[in-house]
Amino acid sequence: MIEIAKYHSDISRISSVDLSNPEFGKECSDHMFSAYFENNSWVQPEIIPFGTIEFLPSMLTLHYGQSVFEGMKAFKMHDGRISIFRPELHYERFNRSLERMCMPLVPKELFFTALIELLTIDQAWVPSASGTSLYIRPFCFATESRLKIKISDSYRFMILMSPAGKYFGKPFRLKVETEYTRTAEGGTGYAKCSGNYGSSFYPVKHAIEQGFDQVLWTDAKEHKYIDEAGMMNIMFMLDGKLVTPALNSAILAGVTRDSVLTIAKDQGIIVEERKIAVEELRSFLESGKVSEVFGTGTAAVVAPVKLIRIGDADYEIPEPSENSFHSKAYSLLNDIRTGISPDPHGWNFII
């Protein structure tokens, strides 16, 4: 059994945070978890007060980008218990990302013991208002001090937690991106490594300046097929079927994506995971066969899209209603996470 040393904060900062409507990612809870990888093993697991950390400016991660992260959520259930949503799937994806970046895998016992003990200590930070959660950010980065280009020999694994309200407040306006590329097949798109997000800032910045909220990425080779939307997987209700791009090495396997597809299948909706050509999407939009477009992700959960620009043409998406599939999926996900509805697939990990 893993023993984690605990050093408690003298003063809690929770009274300064509005837990009824917390801004996503702004405030971290009182404590954080930390462990080091040295001499081929994970050592010094501890929970310490949230605060600054020291490192040398020659630390490899600052120069060559060996850094990955995960994002999951904990919820206050209607009976007062706390649940983490699908941590097993997040753990598996975290280790896939680590492997892709030539970083040491985190043992399952270390990962889950750290999660449980950190969340137990800071459980008061889990908000209970509707639509709120405690966002959990496990991350790992290279710590070896060296300017030479190499795979690091040492690493640090940490977990932060932050109360979160709704990430987005209005439907999205998306621009299909056919010039810039987020990632390519054979690259790191399926991994949650920091560089994927940094490289997307420039085209997204230009899209925002043009009045859009995010870009809808296309394949790097030909820019003919839809990949995903910013920090979300993308889904379309096309002619009564729920259609989403098939996973490949350029697309992140979203946990919320998997959950929404499972909910759709449970409800008897035909689900298609396949290539979606930009011109096919244009044809469906022009013919009025697109009834819903929405993104799915841990932060966004289920986020509706109101407009898509393809080339010079803007296509309006019908206004969502309470009977829209994505509205029902969002409500059902929330009810499962909070224990209001049954959890037939065992997604909740109760603390």
Residue after which a domain boundary falls, among 142, 164, 186: 164
> Which among 282, 285, 294 has a CA at the least distance from the CA of 170?
294
- Give the count of alpha carbons within 13 A of 159, CB side only: 27
Place of tokens 């983490």: 84
Q: Same domain for 37 and 84?
A: yes
- Domain with residue 260: its CATH number is 3.20.10.10
Q: Which residue has the tokens 């080091």?
A: 36
**Maximum pairwise Cα distance, the chain:** 62
pLDDT of residue 231: 82
pLDDT tens for the chain, residues 1 to 351: 799 999 999 999 999 999 998 998 899 999 999 999 999 999 999 999 999 999 999 999 999 999 999 999 999 999 999 999 999 999 999 999 999 999 999 999 999 999 999 999 999 999 999 889 999 999 999 999 999 999 999 999 999 999 998 766 689 999 999 999 989 999 999 999 999 999 999 999 999 999 999 999 999 999 999 999 878 999 999 989 999 999 999 999 999 999 999 999 999 999 999 999 999 999 999 999 999 999 999 988 999 999 999 999 999 999 887 789 999 999 999 999 999 999 999 999 999
Residue 342 lies in a domain: no
Q: Which amino acid is at 199?
A: S
Predicted local confidence at residue 169, as pLDDT: 67
Local structure of 197: helix, strand or coil: helix
Residue ranges making up the domain that contains 111: 5-164
Where b means 16+ CB within 10 Å and e means fewer, 217-247 reads bbbbeebebbbbbbbbbbbbbbeeebbbbeb
3-state helix, strand, coil split of the chain in percent (to 5) is 25, 30, 45
**Beta-strand runs (E) in the chain:** 5-6, 31-38, 41-49, 67-69, 72-76, 82-85, 133-142, 155-164, 172-177, 214-218, 226-229, 233-238, 241-245, 271-274, 290-297, 301-310, 313-316, 348-350
Q: What is the pLDDT of residue 174?
A: 97
Say whether both 120 and 55 belong to one domain.
yes
Verify that 191 and 150 share a domain, yes or no: no
Q: Is residue 347 in a domain? A: no
Are residues 120 and 47 both part of a single domain?
yes
- CA-wise closest residue to 128 among 18, 30, 29, 12: 18
- Give a yes or no: residue 19 inside a domain: yes
State whether 292 and 160 are in the same domain: no
Q: Are residues 320 and 176 in the same domain?
A: yes
197 and 54 share one domain? no
Number of domains in the chain: 2
Domain end, chosen from 132, 164, 196, is at 164
* Spatial separation of the C-alpha atoms in residues 87 and 122, rounded to whole Å: 18
Give ∠ CA 279-329-336 in degrees, rounded to 5.
Answer: 150
Do 130 and 242 belong to one domain?
no
Decide if 97 contacts 124 (C-beta within 8 A).
Answer: no
H or E element that contains 278: helix 278-287
Does 113 share its domain with 211? Answer: no
Give 138's strand partners.
Answer: 159
Q: How far is CA 276 from CA 77, 251, 280, 294, 334, in A?
A: 38, 13, 7, 15, 29
